[in-house]
Structure 1
């Protein structure tokens, strides 16, 4: 198997995978979506009473709506430091090894943003996407919240989904019948992505990773000299994260989970 990164940013990756079957690539995609863990706010306590300024602790939204929005805020995650609550030595009580506590205290008039969440004792886990609006406060309103983030996976709830968009396509292959092609270049003009050019007397796709196999080029060829085929042995894989985890960390964790799952099956088969 060969892997080549075409693009890698803090929140997205695009790579070429060679030597895997479509089923294996899809298993990787599904594992990234449903099994790779990440941090998300799961417990929220609201303080209902006057603030220090004497303002009423309330907002235009019900507490449940604010809680839901808090749960969808991307929380920075370090999978090497945190364990799941049900696997932690604290027996589910919640401790610095399995949870991050955030506080939020703001008075109106103001818009409350995700950046107003302050990590307690975890200065390095300040929310990166600081401009997610949570609620709006009027002059006489305030909000005081204590929230706790824990590890979970996408199959438990969408807020723990490490990957928000993951998909793949097969490599496009352009076949040209030289005896029929008259070098009219109609196929090049018809390409909606402008990724075709002439190489001598033969049209070719200059950027195969950008080709969507729409077959506009083949349809424009009146001589029927072109065919667009798909090669399932070479896959262009693309996915995005919400910023809680780096794309490379998501990919590595998904591969580890797949390997571990098959090893468990192998061990059980060996005992038969």
Structure 2
């Protein structure tokens, strides 16, 4: 196995991996979207709403605002997410109240437009937990006309993307192939048409030869192949070599999403392994 981190920031992590089966990487990709828990607004109590927006639309917009959950991750790990799901449903099997105190975070949103229009942003949401709050403060929620007002009480709950996308910490989680670009020196006449049509600027001229600058940037569109008049370029993909990209909504750091995905997958595989051992007995 060979791992190379190509990009790593607060928003995205991109890793080139070889020697790992594609189904395993696809499982990590899906777990990043569906299994890693975060906080999201799940209940909205409308006290006052004189805006032009219906209560349901207002609640939906607020629920889709990503909430920072990185600092509260250890607390999330100590919760039974399935129990929290029952708490948010109509099930009669409700957890004890002390469990709900750890799971829920109370928030408030109050805004009023007096003499002029007022745009309500996510920064207007006030949280009782300093670690769980909107990731970005510049997300517009509603525009209030003069005299209009909203007053809402919110409750954020721990959940997973498999229940609703608002709990997914990743906005993008993809795997793609690594390009295998081969250029025949005998057929190439240096017309440079392949360079002109390449959307990712992968090819360049060096020492009177067409060369590949970065194979990982190639998206396998094969436009260079179609544009080459002498058919000197052949583009395919490498076997057993892939790129994994995870982009965070801001709720968790990208590396945290990847690490938690791996941990959850290993735990579930361990449960399967123990079940199989119990069957043999």
Normalized against structure 1, the TM-score is what?
0.87
1:64 alignment counterpart: 56
Match of 1:254 in 2: 261
Paired position in structure 2 for 1:52? none
Quote the Cα distance in structure 2 between the aligned partners of 1:207 and 1:271. Answer: 50
Q: 2: distance between equivalents of 1:233 and 1:179?
A: 29
Alignment pair present for 1:114 and 2:108: no
Residues 1:91 and 2:132 aligned together: no
Match of 1:79 among 67, 73, 76: 73
Distance in 1, matches of 2:82 and 2:34, equals 18
| Residue 85 of structure 1: how far off its partner (Å) | 6.0
Give 1:112 deviation, angstroms: 1.6
Q: 1:85 to 1:177 in 2, by over 3 A?
A: closer
CA gap of 1:86–1:259, structure 2 versus 1, over 3 A, is closer
37-46 or 201-210, which deviates more:
201-210
Q: Which residue pairs with 1:51 in the alignment?
A: none
* TM score, norm. by length of structure 2: 0.85
Aligned length: 262
The answer to whether structure 1 residue 35 and structure 2 residue 35 are counterparts is yes
Helix, strand or coil for the counterpart of 1:29?
helix
Q: CA deviation at 1:155?
A: 1.2
Hey, what's the Cα distance between the residues in 2 that align with 1:3 and 1:149?
A: 37
Contact 1:117 1:127 in 2 (8 A): yes
Q: Distance in 2 between matches of 1:73 and 1:245?
A: 14
Question: What 5-or-longer segments of structure 1 have no aligned partner?
Answer: 49-56
2-structure distance, mates of 1:170, 1:270 = 37
Matches within 5 A, 1:182-261: 182-200=189-207, 202-261=209-268
Whole-Å separation in 1 of the counterparts to 2:82 and 2:223: 54
CA spacing shift, 1:143–1:185, aligned 2, 3 Å: closer
Q: CA 1:263–1:103 in structure 2 vs 1: closer, same or farther (change >3 Å)?
A: same
**Residue 145 of structure 1, CA deviation:** 1.3
Q: After TM superposition, give the deviation of residue 67 of structure 1 in Å.
A: 0.9
Q: Aligned pair in 2 of structure 1 residues 188, 46: CA closer, same or farther (>3 Å)?
A: closer
Aligned alpha-carbon RMSD (Å)? 2.2
- 3-state SS in 2 of match to 1:259: helix
In the alignment, which residue of structure 2 is the partner of 1:9? 9
The answer as to 2:109 corresponding to 1:104 is: yes
Q: State how far apart, in whole Å, the 1-side matches of 2:111 and 2:165 are.
A: 28
**What does residue 131 of structure 2 align with?**
124
Q: Deviations over 1:181-226 (max 9, x none)?
A: 3444443344333221245464321111111122222223333232
Contact 1:75 1:244 in 2 (8 A): yes
Q: Single out whichever of 158-167 and 76-85 deviates more from structure 2.
A: 76-85
CA distance in 2: counterparts of 1:174 and 1:86, whole angstroms: 47
